[in-house]
Copies of this chain bind each other. A is one copy, B any other.
Amino acid sequence: MTDIVAVYDVLVVGCGPGGFAAATQSSQAGLHTACVDQRASLGGTYLVDGAVPSKTLLDESYFYRLLQQRELFEQRGVRLPPARLNMQVAQAALKQNIERLGKVYKSELSKYNVTVYNGTAAFKTPHRVEIVQHGESGLIVEAKYIIVATGSTIIQCPGVAIDEAMVVSSSKALSLDYVPPRFSIMGGGTIGLEIACIFNNFGSRVTIIESQSEICQNMDAELASATKRLLQSQGIVFLLDTRVQCAERDAAAQLNVTLLDKRSKKNFAHQCDVLMVSIGRRPLLEHLNISMIGLSEQDFVENVDEQTQSLSKFPHIKPIGDVTLGPMLALKAEQQASRAIQSILSAGSVETSNFNFPPNVLYCQPQVAWVGYTEQQLVSSHIPYQTGKAFFSQNIRYNTLMPQKDTAVPGFIKVLVGSRDLKILGVHIINSDANELLPQASMAVSLGLTAHDVCKVAFPHPSLSESFKQATQFAMATAALPSINVRE
């Protein structure tokens, strides 16, 4: 067996947002820290083939879509000849951007004196890990604490083999350097919807195939319905209650997909050029060889202490991020990283963000964003509430911005306020860049602020955020209060 090459206080396995946060915080706190990642470019799925490429291409594709609104701009006095897209150049620029950001991760780690290993890590003993680089014989590293931040991978679909040519994963879709004429997507979750928007904006004919009867089932029903209408108005086709049976390439190099209509129980044929499978993600633990130390995947799901992020079998092993239960969000991974490091430091009170109310965003444009309770959750929990809804078409700032073509669904903000104490319980928004309108709502919901508190704040004038205050005032006015709906 190879000698131990190094001993650390903390070894972080995986350098996505969670692993990165854990490694830098650990080192900043004076702990001797290393981190290992199997990819040359750091940042994990989040940075390399997930959120960052998706958001980057979304922004570019909506810019490209905006440029198609030539008649609207001409009415405003700006004559715009047609723009042309070169997807190869777009992909090259994206790749460069990701590499640049990966280097930022690397230089930050180096700034904090974190040793970075490139390779896969596998347990040898509870405190020892073998790192294999490029298939070469491994280094053995020992650590007092091991943080497992190995992330997640896609769930395969039986009968629909991913060949990364015509049947692709989301990672591959985000690196396609051409725009398929017909792009179909299996799965109507956030990942599927966002990639649908990208290719729809770039000119593909996009179809979403979803086995459930509705998309966005965790959304407030009104918001989900608006979202579907919005995406339909942009040209995306939805096949709901529909299951993919199999997909086969034919002689004409098109993909013949057999679909099952769950209501009529009949099969029907569907053709496309590329089919993306995005039916979910699962924890990625296979390289780690956890069985070697008597652990199962189930231990990572069931037996993690919420305060210390420790496995009950081995308290020095702390899983964070997508390998743990709950939403697979960078935000969660980063919060768990802070908890893990603080528990190692035995810091008294572990102060992390209030993740009971995670902010949610669908990065289409107009964006869909929400925080806190949905109306359905309030009803089923028997919490009495009042609703205030303001339309952005009545917002002065909205009316000073360049017009948007995608107004089939009027943008709105809905504020749900508890009837008893007027606390802000939930906020649901559909509008351009709603992700930047959400933070004030997140503050209100997670700090337990009331409608009165929000009304005390002077909002920038004119700004889209004034609609938050207006909707809050409307929500208050539906109570037995004097009915004053100030437009301000």
**Is the CB–CB distance between A484 and B452 below 8 Å?**
no
Give Cα distance in the complex from A419 to B64, angstroms.
Answer: 47
**Is the CB–CB distance between B90 and A334 below 8 Å?**
no
Q: Which of B25, B463, B487 contacts A486 (CB 8 A)?
A: B25
Give Cα distance in the complex from A454 to B358, angstroms.
Answer: 14
Q: Which residues of B contact A454 (CB under 8 A)?
A: 443
Give Cα distance in the complex from A292 to B342, angstroms.
Answer: 73
**Is the CB–CB distance between A52 and B353 below 8 Å?**
no
Give Cα distance in the complex from A158 to B31, angstroms.
Answer: 70
Contact sample, A vs B, 26 pairs, CB 8 Å cutoff: A55-B400, A56-B400, A59-B400, A77-B93, A78-B84, A79-B83, A329-B461, A331-B458, A331-B459, A331-B461, A351-B452, A353-B455, A353-B457, A355-B458, A436-B463, A436-B464, A438-B463, A439-B440, A439-B463, A442-B458, A442-B460, A443-B443, A443-B454, A446-B456, A447-B453, A447-B456
**Is the CB–CB distance between A88 and B77 below 8 Å?**
yes
Query: CB of A295 within 8 A of chain B?
Result: no
**Is the CB–CB distance between B459 and A439 below 8 Å?**
yes
Query: CB of A203 within 8 A of chain B?
Result: no
**Is the CB–CB distance between B436 and A458 below 8 Å?**
no
**Is the CB–CB distance between B455 and A442 below 8 Å?**
no
The interface of chain A, by Cβ under 8 A from chain B, is 17, 20-21, 24-25, 28-29, 51-52, 55-56, 58-60, 63-64, 67, 73-93, 97, 101, 104, 108, 329-331, 334-335, 337-338, 341, 345, 347, 351, 353-355, 357-361, 369, 394, 396-397, 399-402, 433, 435-440, 442-444, 446-447, 449, 452-465, 468, 482-488
Interface centre among A104, A329, A401, A484 (most CB of B within 10 A): A484
Residue of B nearest to A447 (CB): B453
Residue of B nearest to A87 (CB): B77
Give Cα distance in the complex from A410 to B369, angstroms.
Answer: 28
**Is the CB–CB distance between A361 and B460 below 8 Å?**
yes
Residue of B nearest to A465 (CB): B439
Give Cα distance in the complex from A176 to B58, angstroms.
Answer: 37
